[in-house]
Structure 1
Amino acid sequence: MKDQQIETSDQFAVRQAKLEELRGKGIDPFRTNWDQTHTSAEAAGAWIEDEENSPVVSCAGRLVAIRKMGKASFARILDRAGTLQIYMKKDIVGEEAYDLFKKSLDLGDFIGMRGTLFKTKTGEITLRVQEFSLVSKSLRPLPEKWHGLQDDDQIYRQRYLDLISNEDSRKVFQTRSKIIRCIRNYLESKDFTEVETPILTSEAGGAAARPFTTHFNALDCPFYLRIALELYLKRLLVAGMDRVFEIGRNFRNEGLSRRHNPEFTMLEVYQAYSDYRGMMELIHGMVQAICEEVLGTTKITRYDETVIELGGEWREARYKDLIIEKTGDPEWFSRSKEEKLAWCEEEEIEVDPNREDFEVTNAVFEKRIEPTLIQPTFVTHVPKELVPLAKISPDDPDTVEVFELCINGQEIAPAYSEQNDPAVQRQQLERQAGEEQQKIDEDFLLALEHGMPPAGGMGVGIDRLIIMLTGVPSIRDVILFPSLKPIPKDQ
């Protein structure tokens, strides 16, 4: 690493000298603009067989490959649409310009160029440059072409270099953008309205999670970065906005792992006069629309070559049945907490003995069952203690009308038949507040007392969904700039 830093420092000095030389010749190495008429893909699409009448195109991009020869050179530029080969000939651009290209330009520089298109003997559409200009000088070298960034920490800290050198990484984030656009289009086609709710809140509600706390100077009181979108969106159901959704950031001051980032993107959607089964239909249709419109397939290949099939019907299984199947104990739910803890110890499942009985059972689900649910599975009838904002199941008063959609070994989307009885909701929130040492959002309960229609509600972890749909191994691979510990200043 130290030798690499010295080498980088040497190249920086060489490029800095080139920069000063350019300025000495009256050349601005950082232009204001370039009239770009075509992206690389559009230029390739503009090629015609009759090369003598080839249209003139104007492109711009970063030099990522240069093959300098005598009186002619080939190079390759990278722009938002991909790459394009360019051909630079001394007789066409002129001696002075060609000398500038050979002696003063480096990999990483941005150039603008105009010219016509032709096809090489190997069949590659190429831009024959008639004129070009350096538009921005790169003072530091790019990662090696064939290897890119190899260190995970550097990939996440210097994502811009990763995106330059790693086509697969670029495709993941381009796919992410398309997936989110598809979600918006799908929900709008179902007559949902996109809304925005506060990120800074006076109460951290809607989930059992530790918030990030700040101080609102103008109001002289503590505020929190939201941990969920839910409570404000349900206020809008009270207001008569029967179908609403929001895609936004949530913040939870908790752990970091390959599945967790403290800052993450959620979709929450609420539909009046529906329930958790209506949400099943919604998420099933939405994911299959993404498969059709963005991916072109319902089969997703994971990083370990496992294939996930998202087509057809999805499995449905009750939470209790999965627990009994895993433990092999039909009487599990009538056992004492101590008996359950003893079983967990035998199975080497770490559980805090001070946890509530239902939390011990849920540890079995999260650590032994959920990771095995690779194919799409609706886990229904979850214990009521886990979800205080949902309606009690009429056929089992110990559970709530909830599903957790698990795919790829993790929860992708929980959904509820939303609780709209203000008295029952208060009881549930008071119980949760006592366990989690949280305050109750009285303003939300006040809104509920004005009447909220029956509704289905759902949250979709966008980052986890994209992990699954793109087949990458970690949440950090789908977040452009994931949370990282700062590098000490002395390093």
Structure 2
Amino acid sequence: MSSEQTSFRIENLLTLKSQGIQVYPEKFSTNCELYEATQLEDGTSGVRVAGRIMSIRYFSKLSFITISNIQGCLQLLLKKDEIGDEPFNQFHNLLDIGDFIGVDGRMYTTKTNEKTLRIESYVFLGKALRPLPEKWHGLSNVELRYRQRYLDLMMTRETQNRLLARSKMVRAIRRFFEDNEFLEVETPVLQHSSSGALAKPLRTYHYSLDTELNLRIAPETYLKRLIVGGFTKVFEFAKCFRNEGISPQHLQEFTMVEGYAAYWNYEDTMKLMRDMVLFVLAQTFNTTTITIQGQTIDFSIEWDIVTFKDLILKDTGVDIDLFPDVKNLYQETLRKNINLGQLDIESLGRGNYIDHLYKKMCRPKLVKPTFLIKHPIDLSPLARANDLNPALSDRFQLVVNGAEIINAYSELVDPLEQRRRLEAQAHLKSNGDLEAMEMDEDYLTAMEYGMPPISGWGFGIERLLMVLTDSDTIKDCVLFPLTKKI
């Protein structure tokens, strides 16, 4: 804080204090939001608003001022002959762009047809000691926008709109599930085992218990415990943590929405998820048609449903059913000149190798909303096996614009089969697969007390927002993304 501008602002602050002005007052009562004031009729008086000064246009006897907040902005008119010499001069001499003010006045429309509040009185509400960026839109240091998100929110309308949409989306999702008789619950973030998804966990240490713990990678097994306990329809907004690589589609800390319904199967959930997406689009964007990668997509039109096998066969020419062994499958992809990069085939296992094949060769081509069904069972350790073909799972994913935004399935409720699968996962983990699941005896004990048929689903708020706002990177869809310490 040694810049010349900062020193000048501190001098103004001290001058205000010397004049008996409270520079950081306790409160200011408003009766109107900035965006609401722009809708008021001319002549409306007693309008009280507050905001940050974002621009000042000086003239000899008047000034036009713009104040703003995250939801909108409002133009103010300050006239010397209406407010008096002393308040007029005080504003021009001691207030700076970035400061906060509260004003009381009446509405009118300028000759350029802009709704404006004529200031009848104003109150100083806070001094900014640092100047705001002058050319934020041209800022090439994207990392700075993430590190100082508050500046990005102040200066970049696109960021404001996207993150306001996030809040609206969360509200719409919660309302949708509550309207469908789901109960919101909370489950532990600190867990002894990392189950519920295939991912490498973040670890921490609990000193009082003298034990290592994982930050949850998913709330799944605890939500299912609630079904054992008698809940029938539950959902959770769950902070989850996955110690995976950084990419435009992945965050290490993210918000997952996950839920379960007793006595449902995955096809019931498929209908629920379609209804939810349409509801969220209407509530958040007032439309079910959005533009993604220059392509207009109407989500209200029926969505495609395609099997995992058929998709891979179409895009690669490989019939995965013909290759039950990962080595043979690997050799077949080599024969097809498919290069998936350096992969440890032995530790990866067949399921994860197929997943890599799908993500590299198929997923990027899925732009319109598509339900992907019938995943190989070894990709779904907690999903129910299909009755007609036990090598497949009763599962679906919703893919839009090359991103998986919803994952759901009919749940495995057979404790003996679940134990066998978790033992297989534990074997993969001991062979070096860091994303394989751990054995979870407590969850297996809960299962042994009996589970009804269940279907469940999960999706990330940030991933959904990224797709629906056609954002380049998922970091743009979280208020404060993790950045490297400097």
TM-score, scaled to structure 1:
0.93
> In the alignment, which residue of structure 2 is the partner of 1:447?
446
Match of 2:184 among 169, 194, 212: 194
> In the alignment, which residue of structure 2 is the partner of 1:130?
120
> In the alignment, which residue of structure 2 is the partner of 1:325?
314
**Residue 146 of structure 1: CA displacement?**
6.8
Q: Does 1:40 align with 2:31?
A: no
3-state SS of 2:393 partner: strand
Q: Is the CA contact 1:194–1:246 (under 8 Å) kept in the aligned structure 2?
A: yes
AA at the equivalent of 1:427: R
AA at the equivalent of 2:73: T
Q: Does 1:19 align with 2:13?
A: yes
> In the alignment, which residue of structure 1 is the partner of 2:207?
217
Q: Does 1:88 align with 2:65?
A: no
Match of 1:422 among 406, 411, 415: 415
- Residues 165-208 of structure 1 show CA distances to partners (whole Å, capped at 9, x for unaligned) of 01111111111111111111111111100001111112221122
> In the alignment, which residue of structure 2 is the partner of 1:98?
88
Q: Spell out the pairing of 1:344-355 with structure 2 (5 A cutoff).
A: 344-345=333-334, 346-350=337-341, 351-354=343-346, 355=348
Match of 1:240 among 227, 230, 233: 230
- Residues 304-356 of structure 1 show CA distances to partners (whole Å, capped at 9, x for unaligned) of 32333312211111101111122224476337544533454522321333332
Quote the Cα distance in structure 2 between the aligned partners of 1:374 and 1:40. 38
- Where does structure 1 lack aligned partners over 5 or more consecutive residues? none
Identical columns (%): 39
> In the alignment, which residue of structure 2 is the partner of 1:403?
396
AA at the equivalent of 2:253: E
> In the alignment, which residue of structure 2 is the partner of 1:463?
462
Quote the Cα distance in structure 2 between the aligned partners of 1:174 and 1:44. 19
Change (3 A) 1:451 1:311: same
> In the alignment, which residue of structure 2 is the partner of 1:309?
298
Quote the Cα distance in structure 1 between the aligned partners of 2:384 and 2:64. 66
3-state SS of 2:51 partner: strand
Q: Spell out the pairing of 1:220-369 with structure 2 (5 A cutoff).
A: 220-302=210-292, 304-330=293-319, 333-334=322-323, 337-345=326-334, 346-350=337-341, 351-354=343-346, 355-369=348-362
Change (3 A) 1:361 1:193: same
**Residue 392 of structure 1: CA displacement?**
0.8
Change (3 A) 1:330 1:422: closer
> In the alignment, which residue of structure 2 is the partner of 1:485?
484
RMSD: 1.8
Quote the Cα distance in structure 2 between the aligned partners of 1:343 and 1:297. 45
3-state SS of 1:482 partner: coil
Match of 1:156 among 119, 141, 146: 146
> In the alignment, which residue of structure 2 is the partner of 1:436?
429
Quote the Cα distance in structure 2 between the aligned partners of 1:143 and 1:290. 35
Which sits farther off after the overlay, 317-326 or 330-339?
Answer: 330-339
Q: Is the CA contact 1:145–1:165 (under 8 Å) kept in the aligned structure 2?
A: no
Q: Is the CA contact 2:394–2:409 (under 8 Å) kept in the aligned structure 1?
A: yes
Match of 1:112 among 102, 106, 112: 102
Quote the Cα distance in structure 2 between the aligned partners of 1:34 and 1:335. 70
> In the alignment, which residue of structure 2 is the partner of 1:175?
165
TM-score, scaled to structure 2:
0.94
Quote the Cα distance in structure 2 between the aligned partners of 1:417 and 1:64. 53
Q: Is the CA contact 2:309–2:321 (under 8 Å) kept in the aligned structure 1?
A: no
Q: Is the CA contact 1:324–1:332 (under 8 Å) kept in the aligned structure 2?
A: no
Change (3 A) 1:248 1:237: same
Match of 1:58 among 44, 48, 56: 48
Change (3 A) 1:330 1:347: closer
Quote the Cα distance in structure 2 between the aligned partners of 1:286 and 1:339. 41
3-state SS of 1:431 partner: helix
Change (3 A) 1:286 1:388: same
Q: Is the CA contact 1:200–1:223 (under 8 Å) kept in the aligned structure 2?
A: yes
Q: Is the CA contact 1:149–1:165 (under 8 Å) kept in the aligned structure 2?
A: no
Which sits farther off after the overlay, 142-151 or 195-204?
Answer: 142-151
3-state SS of 1:307 partner: strand
> In the alignment, which residue of structure 1 is the partner of 2:63?
73
Q: Is the CA contact 1:275–1:416 (under 8 Å) kept in the aligned structure 2?
A: yes
AA at the equivalent of 1:390: A
**Residue 27 of structure 1: CA displacement?**
2.0
> In the alignment, which residue of structure 2 is the partner of 1:141?
131
Quote the Cα distance in structure 2 between the aligned partners of 1:362 and 1:35. 56
AA at the equivalent of 1:347: I
Quote the Cα distance in structure 2 between the aligned partners of 1:249 and 1:14. 43
Which sits farther off after the overlay, 287-296 or 355-364?
Answer: 355-364
> In the alignment, which residue of structure 1 is the partner of 2:369?
376
Quote the Cα distance in structure 1 between the aligned partners of 2:344 and 2:319. 24
AA at the equivalent of 1:205: S
Q: Is the CA contact 1:46–1:55 (under 8 Å) kept in the aligned structure 2?
A: no
**Residue 128 of structure 1: CA displacement?**
0.5
Quote the Cα distance in structure 2 between the aligned partners of 1:333 and 1:378. 24
**Residue 56 of structure 1: CA displacement?**
0.9
Q: Is the CA contact 1:72–1:89 (under 8 Å) kept in the aligned structure 2?
A: yes
Quote the Cα distance in structure 2 between the aligned partners of 1:291 and 1:112. 35
3-state SS of 2:394 partner: strand
Q: Is the CA contact 2:205–2:213 (under 8 Å) kept in the aligned structure 1?
A: yes
Quote the Cα distance in structure 2 between the aligned partners of 1:340 and 1:442. 33
Q: Is the CA contact 1:148–1:165 (under 8 Å) kept in the aligned structure 2?
A: no
Which sits farther off after the overlay, 369-378 or 39-48?
Answer: 39-48
AA at the equivalent of 1:307: T
> In the alignment, which residue of structure 1 is the partner of 2:433?
none
Q: Does 1:385 align with 2:378?
A: yes
- Residues 8-41 of structure 1 show CA distances to partners (whole Å, capped at 9, x for unaligned) of 8221122122222222222222211111111112
3-state SS of 1:46 partner: coil
Q: Is the CA contact 1:208–1:436 (under 8 Å) kept in the aligned structure 2?
A: no
Quote the Cα distance in structure 1 between the aligned partners of 2:164 and 2:238. 18
**Residue 145 of structure 1: CA displacement?**
5.7
**Residue 149 of structure 1: CA displacement?**
4.1
